Structure 1
Amino acid sequence: MLAGGSGTRLRPITHTSAKQLVPVANKPVLFYGLEAIAEAGITDVGLVVGDTHAEIEAAVGDGSAFGLRVTYLRQEAPLGLAHGVLIARDYLGDEDFVMYLGDNFVVGGITALVDRFARERPAAQIMLTKVADPSQFGVAELDAEGRVIGLEEKPVHPKSDLALVGVYLFGPAVHEAVARLKPSRRGELEITDAIQELIEDGLRVDSSQISGYWKDTGNVTDMLEVNRLVLESVEPRVHGSVDEASELVGRVVVEAGAVVERSRLVGPAIIGAGARILDSYVGPFTSIGAACVVTGSEIEYSIVLPRASIAGVGRIESSLIGHDVEVTPSPNTPRAHRLILGDHSKVQIG
């Protein structure tokens, strides 16, 4: 499992947090992948980590919480997906393996995919999905029988609209293919090039189109969409404190230790453990992290990470708010804005 990327599209959040640990419905994206791997009957995971290794290791531990045995494999620099396979060579030996990108979200799991690979024994098996802009992805070309005959990474002129989903299954032949690779124009060892090597060697590469839902949670828009999707399936429960002056509408989760007073919560939404919602409105598709405080404010279709504070703000929508952030209204006078922003931030001022 690869969890070594730097998450440039999620900056400034990922300046201080591993992108794989940014939560949807108050649970890190990486955890959904680990659960899917365990559900498929896999017990041993080599987790490729980079600069954020300490944070990821602290969150995942030895893997026992997921029913897994986790071994950490350090990638000194993000040199491509195939480079992750290269550094895992000794760990993998000659075993078949699943490569799962830690920031991908696949609804329905991978059990059927793993079972099919074990039954049919191709050299590689990939998952595909139709996308509107295939030039942003690895793209597969299929023959009339649905076999993979060509792959290209982020092509200028895509030959199909079928993009590779971040889950791959390989037999040991892929190691020889990876060993022959040269860096691409991006300076990386591309997994698409390794699979293309298998095809050119005359080996069988199978594919299947994903029947459920898939997202690469690499940007804020996708994070919010996955958060929406997961919240659609939550069951309402109240383990915290909700006073009589508050109203809960629809599927709302209030975790243990959370306090809701004089507020209106419209689900699906989740309020994390120890959070406080006072004199506020929390709208649909919102995840409020543990120990957050929201007072005198409105927020909807957003993700708020633990320990953030939002006070006296008229309305917030479609936002991702990081750990320990403080959001407050600006003074009415003078008519100027004081901004302290991280690299690559985007700000709209009315």
Structure 2
Amino acid sequence: MKALVLAGGSGKRLRPITHTSAKQLVPVANKPVLFYGLEAIAATGVRDVGIVVGDTHAEIEAAVGDGSAFGLRATYLRQPAPLGLAHAVLIARDYLGDEDFIMYLGDNFIVGGIEDIVARFVRDRPAAQIMLTKVSDPRAFGVAELDAEGRVIRLEEKPRNPKSDLALVGVYLFTPAIHEVVKDLKPSWRGELEITDAIGRLIETGHRVESTIISGYWKDTGNVADMLEVNRLVLESLEPRVDGRVDEASELIGRVVVEPDAVVERSRIVGPVIIGPGARITGSYVGPFTSIAAGCAVVDSEIEYSIMLPRAAISGVARIESSLIGHDVEVTRAPGTPRAHRLVLGDHSKVQISS
């Protein structure tokens, strides 16, 4: 069995962050979302992974390398444009050959891994195995309709009038039967080759398609609110550790990780919080569910329930919360603004905020 990881999307819902960064590399608890997916695949015993990349291919390839850091062998497959999930299967045909495969969307986050569903697929070997979860607004997802006995009878991509509240989770398992239907697909009204249409063709032609409704935690980390929620969830399981320097005038409360070469001075840190290598926290308050990446600086400021990407800096700001702050951003005080701030800042931004 092989794996196909999709890491070529443009991440429109995470702009402006994704104007300058691959959405799959935005970190959760200081680790790119994509890495969690690669680790989940490796845990199933699969070793060969094809990574579908687009305009951000150089960034993805630099981060993942040959895959050996994850116990994988990575092959990169260029997709000229984001033309749909089924199009990714189409361009990966030669790589996949006649092997069964896992298709994993690189910006998805699933608690508990995928070993059980992969084992079930290997045991029963339907033409396709899909994962479903109940969502409040299914119009934003691929949606499955089941019959009274729980069998999949219909799939629709981002329907205007959903027939159910069961959304497809971004993990699929296929036998080579999928290739026969993908090659004859026509673009949908969205101009894409839809994987929902391909699975629907399997159903129409008599192939067995099975589903599992998951009750565990799943998120498509396509927007800021979901990124912050996943960050919260991961930090919940943090084990406290101090490998950097914390002075006697500082206070660490709860689950706090201070990575090597990080410095905490005259500050109060209330976990769960992770402070990355080389970061500096001075005269500040860092509140729960905050991830501060490598090389960041927080000086005379307050921040909580937020994510700071590498080398971002905040100075003299009274309160920042529920924010995603990009690489190399500078946030400083300026007169005449509110005391609480909610920010989504692209890389290399410069913002002035009053204390």
Q: TM-score range by the shorter chain?
A: over 0.9
Matches within 5 A, 1:288-299: 288-299=292-303
CA RMSD of aligned residues (A): 1.9
Asked if 1:269 corresponds to 2:273, the answer is yes
Cα distance in structure 2, aligned partners of 1:276 and 1:161: 45
Structure 2 residues without counterparts, runs of 5 or longer: 338-344
- 1:83 paired with 2:87, answer yes
Output the CA distance in 1 between the equivalents of 2:111 and 2:346.
33
- Whether 2:156 is the aligned partner of 1:152: answer yes
Match of 1:338 in 2: none
Between the aligned partners of 1:133 and 1:259, the Cα distance in structure 2 is 43
The aligned amino acid for 1:138 is: G
Question: Of the candidates 193, 211, 215, which is equivalent to residue 211 of structure 1?
Answer: 215
Contact 2:327 2:346 in 1 (8 A): no
CA drift of 1:145 comes to 1.9
Could you tell me which residue of structure 2 aligns to residue 43 of structure 1? 47
What letter corresponds to residue 28 of structure 1 in structure 2? P
What one-letter code is carried by the residue in structure 1 that aligns with 2:12? T
Partner residue of 2:244 out of 240, 246, 249? 240
| Matching of residues 104-183 of structure 1 within 5 Å | 104-183=108-187
Tell me the SS of whatever aligns to 1:167.
strand
* Contact preservation (8 Å) 2:11, 2:22: yes
- For 2:109 and 2:139, the matched residues in 1 are separated by 20
1:37 is aligned with what amino acid? I
Shift of 1:180: 1.1
String of CA shifts for 1:215-264, please: whole Å, max 9, x gaps: 00000000000000000001000000000000000000000000000000
Matches of 1:116 and 1:110, distance apart in 2: 10
2:121 partner SS: helix
Q: Which amino acid aligns with 2:292?
A: I
Deviating above 4 A after TM superposition, structure 1's stretches of 4 or more consecutive aligned residues are: none
Equivalent residue of 2:186, what SS? Answer: coil
Q: What one-letter code is carried by the residue in structure 1 that aligns with 2:283?
A: D
Corresponding residue for residue 336 of structure 1: none
Unpaired segments ≥5 residues, structure 1 = 334-340
**1:13-51 deviation digits (Å, cap 9, x = unpaired):** 001100000000000000000000000111000000000
Secondary structure of the structure 2 residue equivalent to 1:207: strand
Q: How many residues align?
A: 342
The alignment-based identity, stated in percent, is 82
Q: TM-score, normalised by structure 1?
A: 0.95
Q: TM-score, normalised by structure 2?
A: 0.94
Q: 2-side partners of 1:331 and 1:122: how far apart?
A: 63
Tell me if the contact between 2:326 and 2:346 (Cα under 8 Å) persists in the aligned partners: no
Give the whole-Å Cα distance in 1 for the aligned partners of 2:78 and 2:117. 27
Q: Report deviation, 1:211.
A: 2.6
CA distance in 2, matches of 1:332, 1:204: 63
- Taking the aligned partners of 2:336 and 2:172, their CA distance within structure 1 comes to 54
Aligned-partner residue type, residue 26 of structure 1: N
**1:71 aligns to what?**
75
Query: Match of 2:306?
Result: 302
Contact 2:33 2:106 in 1 (8 A): yes
Question: Is the 2:53–2:78 contact (alpha carbons within 8 Å) kept by the matching residues of 1?
Answer: yes
* Letter of the 1:178 counterpart: V
Correspondence 1:321-340 to 2 at 5 A: 321-331=325-335
